[in-house]
Each structure stands twice: as structure tokens, then as C-alpha cells.
């Protein structure tokens, strides 16, 4: 199967919503329509990339979303970018979609002279961590949430 990585487009909204719902289910997060609208408005920006897998399903051609777009925000402390978030659909896992999406974002970062790209994952997300350990360096930072 070919993996195609490209900027997200407004026509991707429906497929994006399926991935965003899968992301919320994975992390057991509650979403509201307002949250989805807010995140989609950010996802439509230029800093976003999405991965697609072209393959065949049930004997015919299929276009399936592979990875949730990665939103990139400036990181004040290190001159790089924070990637928020990366989610690979269960159907696309094991095909190095996340790795290729990160590589594409890294290429953008090199072109723009970013110092690094930083992201986080759940401590018990062993499958993702195994992949991330092969392509990046784990930091010693902890994250905190202040609920409002």
C-alpha cells in the first residue's frame, strides 16, 4: 500500500472527524461538537499534515485516513515545535504511517530551521513508544494539566 502525506484540506473534514473520534476513544476523552469544531478550525491551518493510505478493501479501491493531523505549535523553550497530536487509525497501524508522518514533519522543520519537534504520548502507550524510541530521544520532562 502506498502512503501519501499531504497538507490537510477542507474536504477531509468527515474522515478527520472519524480519526478524531478514534483518538478520543483511545485516550478515553470526552468530546463535544464545539471541541471538534475548534480543533478542526486549527487543523485547517498550514502547519498541519495528514497521512493517507491508499489500498484496496472488499475488492475495490479505497481511500482510508491513516493518521490524525499533527498540529504544530511554537515551543518557546527550545526553538522547535510541539506536535499535538498524532493518532494512527487501528487499520493503519503496523504500516509505519506515524513514522512517515513524523519524517515529513521533520523535513518541514529542517527547511524552516526548527531546533526539534517534541510530542508526548501516554506512558502506557507501549506500541507508540516503541516506535518513537527508534526515531527520537525521550526527554525527562513530565506534563501537568490544570483542569478549568
What's the whole-model pTM score?
0.78
User: Is the pLDDT score of 46 beyond 80?
Assistant: no
End-to-end, the C-alpha distance of the chain in Å comes to 44
Maximum average pLDDT range among 4-13, 63-72, 129-138? 129-138
Reported confidence tier of residue 55, pLDDT bands at 50, 70, 90:
very low
User: Is the pLDDT score of 8 beyond 60?
Assistant: yes
Nearest CA among 53, 38, 50, 48 for reference residue 71: 48
User: Is the pLDDT score of 12 beyond 60?
Assistant: yes
Q: What is the pLDDT of residue 29?
A: 87
User: Is the pLDDT score of 59 beyond 50?
Assistant: no
State the chain's mean pLDDT as an integer: 78
Reported confidence tier of residue 93, pLDDT bands at 50, 70, 90:
confident
Question: Phi/psi class of residue 113: alpha, beta or left (left: φ > 0; alpha: ψ in -120 to 50)?
Answer: left
Q: Structural domains in the chain? A: 2-135 (3.40.630.30)
Tallying the residues shown for the chain, one arrives at 148
Reported confidence tier of residue 69, pLDDT bands at 50, 70, 90:
low
Amino acid at each position: 500500500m502506498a502512503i501519501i502525506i499531504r497538507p490537510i484540506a477542507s474536504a477531509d473534514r468527515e474522515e478527520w472527524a472519524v480519526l478524531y473520534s478514534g483518538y478520543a476513544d483511545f485516550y478515553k476523552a470526552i468530546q463535544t461538537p464545539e471541541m471538534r469544531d475548534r480543533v478542526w478550525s486549527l487543523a485547517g491551518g498550514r502547519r498541519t499534515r495528514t497521512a493517507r493510505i491508499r489500498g484496496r478493501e472488499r475488492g475495490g479501491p479505497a481511500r482510508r485516513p491513516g493518521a490524525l493531523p499533527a498540529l504544530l505549535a511554537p515551543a518557546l523553550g527550545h526553538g522547535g515545535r510541539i506536535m499535538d497530536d498524532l493518532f494512527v487509525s487501528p487499520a493503519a497501524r503496523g504500516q509505519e504511517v506515524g513514522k512517515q508522518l513524523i519524517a515529513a514533519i521533520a523535513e518541514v522543520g529542517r527547511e524552516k530551521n526548527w531546533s526539534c519537534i517534541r510530542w508526548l504520548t501516554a506512558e502506557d502507550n507501549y506500541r507508540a513508544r516503541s516506535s518513537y524510541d527508534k526515531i527520537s530521544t525521550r526527554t525527562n520532562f513530565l506534563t501537568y494539566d490544570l483542569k478549568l
